[in-house]
């Protein structure tokens, strides 16, 4: 039963002195690689968490900037309308002043 179970290992030399240095240190190197991989995974998880936090902050700031841009556009449009109204009222006031002066000159000239 055991012969059949371990038949695949038949003919392998388990004498550690006959192994080359790479074969001797293979389990150690694999363990160090596993530790390194776990360390890198933890670093990657931490960086992903930081990235997620920064993306949330970035989204909040982006929405705030978009809101400010909308307010600026509406204020700019209001300012343009207000300046047009002021210009129209200035021209109307100038015309009224000119008409008043013309009427006064006509009154003085006719009297």
Cα(86)–Cα(80) distance, rounded to whole angstroms? 10
Percent of the chain residues past pLDDT 70, beyond the cut: 92
- Euclidean distance between CA atoms 23 and 33, whole angstroms: 15
The residue among 35 and 103 whose pLDDT is bigger is 35
Q: For residue 61, what are its two tokens?
A: 């700031």
Burial code (b: 16+ CB inside 10 Å, e: under 16) for 24-42 equals eeeeeeeeeeeeeeeeeee
Q: Is 74 exposed, middle or buried (0-12, 13-18, 19+ CB in 10 A)?
A: exposed
Query: With 80 as the cut, is the pLDDT of residue 34 above it?
Result: yes
Least confident of 10-19, 36-45, 71-80, 82-91: 10-19
pLDDT at 36 over 80: yes
How is the chain split into domains, by residue range?
21-110
Q: What is the pTM of this model?
A: 0.48
């Amino acid at each position: 039963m055991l012969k059949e179970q371990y038949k695949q290992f038949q003919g392998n030399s388990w004498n550690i002195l006959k192994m080359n240095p790479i074969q001797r240190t293979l389990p150690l190197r694999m363990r160090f690689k596993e530790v390194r991989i776990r360390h890198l995974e933890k670093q990657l998880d931490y960086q992903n968490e930081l990235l997620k936090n920064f993306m949330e902050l970035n989204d909040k700031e982006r929405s705030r900037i978009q809101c400010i841009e909308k307010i600026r556009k509406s204020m700019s449009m209001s300012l343009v309308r207000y300046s047009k109204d002021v210009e129209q009222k200035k021209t109307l006031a100038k015309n009224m002043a000119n008409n008043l002066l013309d009427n006064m000159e006509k009154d003085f000239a006719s009297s």
